[in-house]
């Protein structure tokens, strides 16, 4: 009978240790995240673009001008982001990828619309944009004194191919 009492603790100890090893293997497998979930991809480096909008004639700032950024990816417009200038005529954006191309468009009431593409190759870019007042549209129905004088002079010249009388 003595041997029977000795074998039970050894058997239960062996079963218990096998269970502990099995569960510890599953627990260690659960911490290994290399085979599940998405891989972390760090965001690309970003640049800060400072824009100052001024009047072209007297260099005073233009308040509340709309500055629209059009990031260009693979030759196509990838959406737009619009910001307004403050009382100093300034605004900034810091979510444009370094190395990308961006079309900057400035719209202000009473001024000509401005648009130009910029290559963002530095971590900081400062733009000063002068806006002009609109000029009158050219019309063929209005008199243009400079062009009319040239035509009149050509008509009044004597033709040298005809003999004079």
Tokens representing 26 are 């599953």
pLDDT at 7 over 70: no
Q: Give the C-alpha separation, 131 to 106, whole Å.
A: 9
Mean of all residue pLDDT scores within the chain? 82
pLDDT at 3 over 60: no
Q: Give the C-alpha separation, 137 to 163, whole Å.
A: 45
Residues 6+ apart with CB under 8 A from 116: 103, 104
Q: pLDDT value at position 28?
A: 63
Q: How many CA atoms lie within 13 A of 11 on its CB side?
A: 6
Q: pLDDT value at position 59?
A: 93
Q: pLDDT value at position 70?
A: 94
- Which pLDDT band holds residue 17 (cuts at 50, 70, 90)? confident
| Domain spans of the chain, in order of start | 46-131
CATH code of the region 46-131? 2.60.40.10
Give the residue with greater pLDDT, 8 vs 66: 66
């Amino acid at each position: 009978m003595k041997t029977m009492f000795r074998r039970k603790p050894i058997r239960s100890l062996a079963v218990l240790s096998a269970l502990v090893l099995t569960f510890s293997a599953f627990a260690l497998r659960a911490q290994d995240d290399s085979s599940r979930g998405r891989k972390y991809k760090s965001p690309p480096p970003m640049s800060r673009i400072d824009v100052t909008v001024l009047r072209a004639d007297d260099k005073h700032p233009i308040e509340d001008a709309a500055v629209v950024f059009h990031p260009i990816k693979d030759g196509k417009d990838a959406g737009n982001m619009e910001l307004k200038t403050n009382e100093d005529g300034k605004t900034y954006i810091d979510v444009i990828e370094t190395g990308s191309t961006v079309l900057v468009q400035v719209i202000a009431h009473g001024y000509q619309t401005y648009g130009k593409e910029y290559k963002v190759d530095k971590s900081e870019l400062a733009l000063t944009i002068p806006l002009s007042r609109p000029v009158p549209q050219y019309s063929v129905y209005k008199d243009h004194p400079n062009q009319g004088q040239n035509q009149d002079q050509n008509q009044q010249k004597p033709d040298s191919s005809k003999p004079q009388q």
